[in-house]
Amino acid sequence: MPALAARMSEVSISASVVMTMRARELAAQGIKVISLGTGEPDFPTPLHAIEAAHKAALAGDTKYPPQDGTPELKRAVQRKFKRDNNLDYALDEIMVANGGKQCIFNAFMATLDPGDEVVVPAPYWISYADMAKIAGGKPVLVSCPQNNGFKLRPEDLEAAITPKTKWVMLNFPNNPTGAACSREEMQAIAAVLKKHPHVWVMTDDMYEHLVYDGFEFCTIAEVEPALKDRTLTVNGASKTYAMTGWRVGFCGGPKQLIKAMINMQGQATSGVSSVGQAAAAAALDGPQDLVRERAEDYRKRRDMVVEMLNAAPGIACHKPEGAFYVFPNIAGCLGKTSKAGKKIDTDTDFALALLEEKYVAAVQGAAYGMSPYLRISYATDTDSLREACGRIQEFCKELA
């Protein structure tokens, strides 16, 4: 068999995908598995978005779309950035991609040369580092410890930036921790970035509307306008509007960067599903009450999950400001043995034993660049969450 490209040795299979696949295998055997490993809203797509897609299809809007996005959706994105983030982007400073993930991939492919460094605060969404590697870059991980609320400290960011730094990646509210930065904290990060004009700034704001307890979201180009001409602001319809399967992401940034990213997308996938874009435009321009209502449901779930996990022996769970994840510390469970005889030396051991013995799927913190933790998604129904947390408590009580 001919050899695969050498770059594939640098790319790992997502741990969340691995856990989801194993959970499905168990479910196929008739076992009731509760999956807390997938970052996907359990709510339905808003009806008016579905109706807009249907209407577009019936009207014949089923041909190749523009590579950069339909004018209707780009104008809706333009209004969204102004309304939610106080950011003014011209239409040629906006592009639409197949999910926010492709925006990030396009940007890395359009800008990274071999050896360029990408600063990634850790814990981090698994794909950031792998996408940087595929594009020839080198991820530089910066620890964001729990004693700082899993947030990026300005002095740690300063220490990580070198002449080779091409990008600094920001994701707050964060996947996997749910941590979010206040305006003051973001201003401190911006102050560091202002000192390094050779560095691009990318902010993945996919969870911006999922913040709780009166917390106010902010994005870096809004907080520090002087950075706007080298910032790529990435967002999408997936988390806010429960539209993961529609695959519609978007971003705003400097015209020349966007132009290069559109060129890259043209060689990879071309434009995004035309009916998906119609649905996304309707979601962005439609009533937003549903977003706030669902955020309140997530808040209630967060509170219940944090309380129940903190009642489990050996687990300490930080209460995050946003997203729909918690990132509990399981240090108190290490060095023990499960009821079935599995030695728990790492968070990976914990996650696998929890799945095999209690049929709860979560993802080990090691996959996100920080141990010993678990990423638990509470984007599932309350009854399932309560049952899953009860099983985790039982698993921990049985450790010896």
b/e per residue 326-356 (b: at least 16 CB within 10 A): bbbbbeebbebebeeebebebbbbbbbbbbe
Per-10-residue mean pLDDT of the chain, 400 residues long, equals: 86 74 84 89 96 98 97 98 98 98 98 97 96 96 97 98 98 98 98 98 98 97 98 98 97 98 96 98 97 97 98 98 98 98 96 95 95 97 97 98
**47-285 to CATH, choices 3.30.565.10, 2.40.30.10, 3.40.640.10, 3.90.226.10:** 3.40.640.10
pLDDT for position 27: 83
Helix (H, G, I), strand (E, B) or coil at 106: helix
Q: How far is Cα 93 from Cα 230, in angstroms, rounded to an integer?
A: 12
Give yes or no for a contact between 170 and 189, defined as CB atoms under 8 angstroms apart. yes
Tens digits of residue pLDDT in 129-139: 999 999 999 99
Non-local (6+) Cβ contacts of 288 within 8 A are none
Q: Please count the other Cβ atoms lying within 10 Å of the Cβ belonging to residue 90.
A: 11
Q: What percent of the chain has pLDDT over 90?
A: 91
pLDDT for position 38: 83
Q: How far is Cα 133 from Cα 8, in angstroms, rounded to an integer?
A: 10
Domain boundaries, the chain: 6-44+290-398, 47-285
Q: Please count the other Cβ atoms lying within 10 Å of the Cβ belonging to residue 252.
A: 26
Q: How far is Cα 272 from Cα 70, in angstroms, rounded to an integer?
A: 9
Tens digits of residue pLDDT in 130-171: 999 999 999 999 999 999 999 999 999 999 999 999 999 999
pLDDT for position 7: 84
pLDDT for position 6: 86
pLDDT for position 46: 97
What are the angstrom distances between the C-alpha of 209 and each of 151, 218, 338, 379?
18, 10, 39, 14
Give Cα 157 to chain centroid, integer Å: 20
Non-local (6+) Cβ contacts of 301 within 8 A are 324, 378, 382, 385
Give yes or no for a contact between 365 and 13, defined as CB atoms under 8 angstroms apart. no
pTM: 0.95
Tens digits of residue pLDDT in 373-382: 999 999 999 9
CATH 3.90.1150.10 applies to domain 6-44+290-398:
yes
pLDDT for position 230: 98
pLDDT for position 22: 80
pLDDT for position 135: 96
pLDDT for position 148: 96
6-44+290-398 and 47-285: same fold?
Answer: no
